[in-house]
Amino acid sequence: MEKSIFQRIIDREIPSQIVYEDDKFIAIRDIAPKAPVHLLLIPKQFSSRLDEIADAQHMGELFMTANRVAKEHLTDYRLVVNVGAGGGQVVFHTHIHIMGGWEDRSEAEHLTEAAQ
């Protein structure tokens, strides 16, 4: 199986702007941001989709880490997980989008409408 682009980033085979890393997760800046601040939190343990994570502790750590990384960079933020192609997932390595940095709600309207 060919490595995902995220696995190649984790393995330092391709460069990225790393903003956080520990033994289980890495967070990078999105190369095509949809918000003033758009980060991706990626588990180092591979799963192609969020719904493949069966371990409750790992799932909890994923979201706790997303919250911690978000708070380091933003006051207000949005966490987004796309699951499967029909859910908008493009890279099939589980990841959480951490987005924010808009001056006010009107700047994020296009995202708010899509989530309702």
Burial class, 99, CB count within 10 angstroms (exposed 0-12 / middle 13-18 / buried 19+): buried
Top pLDDT among 74 and 109 is at 74
**How many domains, in total, are found in the chain?**
1
Q: Say how far apart CA 50 and CA 35 lie, in whole Å.
A: 22
Query: In whole angstroms, what is the distance from residue 84 CA to residue 81 CA?
Result: 10
The structure tokens listed for 11 are 């393995």
**pLDDT value for 116:** 36
- Catalytic (active-site) positions: 95
Kindly report the CATH number assigned to the domain that includes residue 42: 3.30.428.10
Cα–chain center distance at 18: 12
What range does the domain containing 86 cover?
5-115
Q: What is the pLDDT of residues 4-55, one digit of tens each?
A: 999 999 999 999 999 999 999 999 999 999 999 999 999 999 999 999 999 9
pLDDT tens profile 67-92: 999 999 999 999 999 999 999 999 99
Taking the model in full, what pTM does it have? 0.91
pLDDT band at 65 (very low <50, low <70, confident <90, very high): very high
